């Protein structure tokens, strides 16, 4: 599997949908490689590989739907274009890199950093202290 830090777009923002899709895809490929070791029968092997691909693809769409419900990701424009122009066939998209989803426009990378800063502040006493001082300053200014 690739390191999560490699999933950065041209703006320097983390591509969460692509990272999750690639992680699941890598797991599928590893499962397919293991299946190759299981059988010398080409028909059983082909059936195993098709079933494994289908299961992993369905799991990705289940995960994507949950993330979409919570407005973390949204469908890429290639999803609707793919159905209209290619008869529903999968075509590689440079925007979503095959994931068919992109990070939600409502959830900016700055907001994700901000949330992670506050959530992880307890892990770092220095950061927690700075946040507490800033909060106290803002509260005292708005009295």
Which tens digits make up the pLDDT trace of 43-69?
A: 888 888 888 888 888 888 888 888 888
Same-domain pairing of 54 and 26 = yes
Distances in Å between the Cα of 39 and the Cα atoms of 7, 33, 34, 42, 111 are: 35, 11, 10, 8, 49
Give me the mean pLDDT over the 25-38 stretch.
Answer: 83
Same-domain pairing of 120 and 58 = no
Same-domain pairing of 97 and 115 = no
Category of 88 on φ-ψ map: left (φ > 0), alpha (ψ -120 to 50) or beta? left
Q: Range of 77's domain? A: 4-106
Same-domain pairing of 113 and 95 = no
Total domains in the fold of the chain:
2
Q: What is the pLDDT of residue 77?
A: 87
Same-domain pairing of 24 and 45 = yes
Cα 16 to its chain centre, rounded Å, is 3
Reduced to 3 states (helix: H, G, I; strand: E, B; else coil), residue 103 is strand
Q: What is the pTM of this model?
A: 0.57
Same-domain pairing of 45 and 92 = yes
């Amino acid at each position: 599997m690739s390191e999560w830090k490699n999933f950065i777009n041209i703006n320097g923002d983390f591509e969460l949908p692509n990272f999750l899709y690639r992680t699941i895809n890598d797991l599928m490929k590893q499962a397919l490689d293991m299946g190759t070791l299981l059988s010398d029968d080409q028909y059983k092997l082909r059936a195993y590989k098709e079933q494994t691909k289908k299961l992993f693809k369905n799991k990705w769409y289940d995960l994507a739907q949950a993330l979409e419900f919570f407005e973390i990701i949204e469908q890429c424009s290639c999803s609707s274009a793919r159905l209209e122009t290619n008869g529903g066939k999968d075509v590689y998209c440079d925007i979503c890199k095959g994931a068919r989803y992109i990070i939600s426009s409502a959830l900016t990378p700055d907001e994700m950093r901000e949330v992670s800063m506050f959530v992880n502040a307890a892990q770092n006493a220095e950061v927690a202290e700075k946040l507490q001082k800033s909060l106290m300053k803002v509260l005292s200014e708005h009295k």
